[in-house]
Amino acid sequence: MTLSRRAILKVSGAAAVAAATGGRTPSAAQDTGGAQGGSWEWVRGLFELSPDTVHMSAMLLSSHPRPVREAIEEHRRELDVDPVRYLERNNTALTDAARKAAGDYLAIHPSHVALTDSTTMGVGLIYTGMKLKPGQELLTTQNDYYVTHESLRLAAERTGARVRSITLFNRADEASEDQIISRILDAVRPNTRLLALTWVHSSTGLKIPVSTVAAALREVNAARDEEDHVLLGVDAVHGFGIEDTNFLQIGCDFYMAGCHKWLFGPRGTGIAAISKRGLSAVRPSVPSFTDDAVFSAWLQNMERPAGDNNGMRMTPGGFKPFEHRWALAEAFALHEQIGRGRIAERTHDLAGALKEALGELPGVMVHTPRDSRLSAGIVSFDVDGMSPQAVVSRLRAQDIIASVSPYATPHVRLTPSIRNNEEDIDRVAVALRGIA
């Protein structure tokens, strides 16, 4: 076999959806329950999750849905049979297809997309790769995650830039968009070069109004030279695959996300989307295998091209678990097939129902805002008189997968997604009534 049928479809520009589901999974593609993009039961059936367990863990690690699983399996088989020749025949086309699928999803040219292994890799590469001057400031918030804080600390250590961290709100459940924006604007200083935020906080589930922040920064930047612009970096992982928006609508400079959470893409895949301005503000840290200009310059013992940085150059090189990277296109295709608007609505509906159910339980304190403009799929809470770990253990004993947020102040998290249904919400509510 030379180029796989799947690859030929992609290379010839056929719709990604057809490549993902047409023909290959006829039973899945036909059994859509009648609704456009598939019934929710059909979506649930794409996953091989243990049926007796309530899996509210989409924010941690994906289970592969059928089209992704099958694509991985096809590539794995071929790689095991003839690794070198299968790679040589397919790598360029399939890697380009994965990058293009991410670009299409985010409405950005593929050359602005770096392929990474995770959110963490993207955030680390971007922030530690920033061209910073001593005295410049990296602004973040106390609500951000370890991955952002540690990347900024390492960036500062390398460059002499300084990190400053502000508090955006006192209580997530009482936060408002106006308060968040005004705290950010009050904190920006003339030497602030980066504002590093997390779109949806994995501690409280609060969603930052990130496009409003970007619009506010555009006004700040209008009065600055381009080299002093405040760039906006976003750990987007808990909005990516949920919210029906894209890179352009958000308006940030750096958008980093793992594809192995809410997008239900292959484990060990991620993306970093970078604006034009962002590309000139960062440099790669790991040699690229997907930027021909740099590689050929090296082959010819020539000076490496300066300027014109791009997503291919920002993509860390080295040989990869290619079967996973190449199956990324199927994850985006499935998402489009189900329908981005439907996924956003479903995730918000289930999270809303869960918050409502938890809110009725005495002894349960929900931290996530009820307002869907300030929340997404993460539902964070505490139970009076119990540690989050104890609550999670009690839930696990009933086959309900929740997790403890790995923060100085931990909370319990449940994360309903398109893999869940109303019965799952009921089961969680009943279990917590018995615990709280």
Ligand X SMILES: Cc1ncc(COP(=O)(O)O)c(C=O)c1O
C-beta of 303: minimal distance to ligand X in Å? 35
Smallest distance from ligand X to CB 222, Å? 30
Count helices and strands in the chain by DSSP H and E runs: 18, 13
Residue burial 262-272, b: 16+ Cβ < 10 Å; e: rest: bbbbbbbbbbb
| Residue 151 touches ligand X, criterion: CB under 6 A | no
Across 129-215, the runs of DSSP E, i.e. the strands, are 137-141, 162-166, 192-198
70 contributes a contact to ligand X by CB under 6 A: no
Count of other CB atoms within 10 angstroms of residue 86 = 21
Q: Does 258 bind ligand X (CB under 6 A)?
A: yes
Q: Using the rule CB under 6 A, is 239 a contact of ligand X?
A: no
Q: Of these, 108, 138, 147, 230, which contacts ligand X (CB under 6 A)?
A: 147
Burial 166-189 (b: 16+ CB within 10 A, else e): eebbeebbebeeeebbeebeebbe
Shorter beta-carbon distance to ligand X: residue 120 or 275? 120
- Smallest separation, CB 375 to ligand X (Å): 14
> In the complex, what is the shortest distance from the CB of residue 384 to ligand X, in angstroms, rounded to a whole number?
25
Quick check: 118 binds ligand X (CB under 6 A)?
Answer: yes
Query: For 312, phi and psi rounded to 5 degrees?
Result: -70, -40
Q: Alpha-carbon distance 392 to 409, whole Å?
A: 15
Report d(CA 145, CA 149) in Å as an integer: 6
Count the residues of the shown chain that bind ligand X, applying the rule CB under 6 A: 12
Q: How far apart are CA 224 and CA 125, in angstroms?
A: 26
Instruction: Give the separation between CA 150 and CA 155, rounded to whole angstroms.
Output: 9
114-122, 206-214, 306-314, 352-360 -> range binding ligand X (CB under 6 A): 114-122
| Token pair 């399996």 in the structure block, residue | 73
242 binds ligand X (CB under 6 A): no
Alpha helices in 188-255 (DSSP H): 210-222, 247-250
Position among 9, 17, 46, 237 found at the interface with ligand X (CB under 6 A): 237
Minimum distance from residue 256 beta carbon to ligand X (Å):
8
CA-closest candidate to residue 319, choices 123, 112, 125, 117? 117
Minimum Å distance from CB 120 to ligand X? 3
The residue number with the shortest CB distance to ligand X is: 258
- What sections of 52-176 are H helices per DSSP? 66-81, 83-106, 119-128, 146-159
Residue 60 or 220: the one with the smaller Cβ distance to ligand X is: 60
Nearest residue (CB) to ligand X, 202 versus 288: 202
Select from 18-26, 85-93, 235-243, 304-312 the region that touches ligand X (CB under 6 A).
Answer: 235-243
Is residue 202 close enough to count as binding ligand X by CB under 6 A?
A: yes
145 belongs to the binding site for ligand X (CB under 6 A): yes
Whose Cβ is closer to ligand X: residue 159's or residue 202's? Answer: 202
Among the listed residues 57, 95, 120, 141, the single contact to ligand X using CB under 6 A:
120
**Should residue 383 be labelled a site residue for ligand X when binding is judged by CB under 6 A?**
no
198 pairs with which residues across the strands? 235
Residue 58 has φ and ψ, to the nearest 5°, of -60, -25
Interacting residue ranges for ligand X, rule: CB under 6 A: 118-120, 145, 147, 198, 202, 235, 237-238, 258, 270
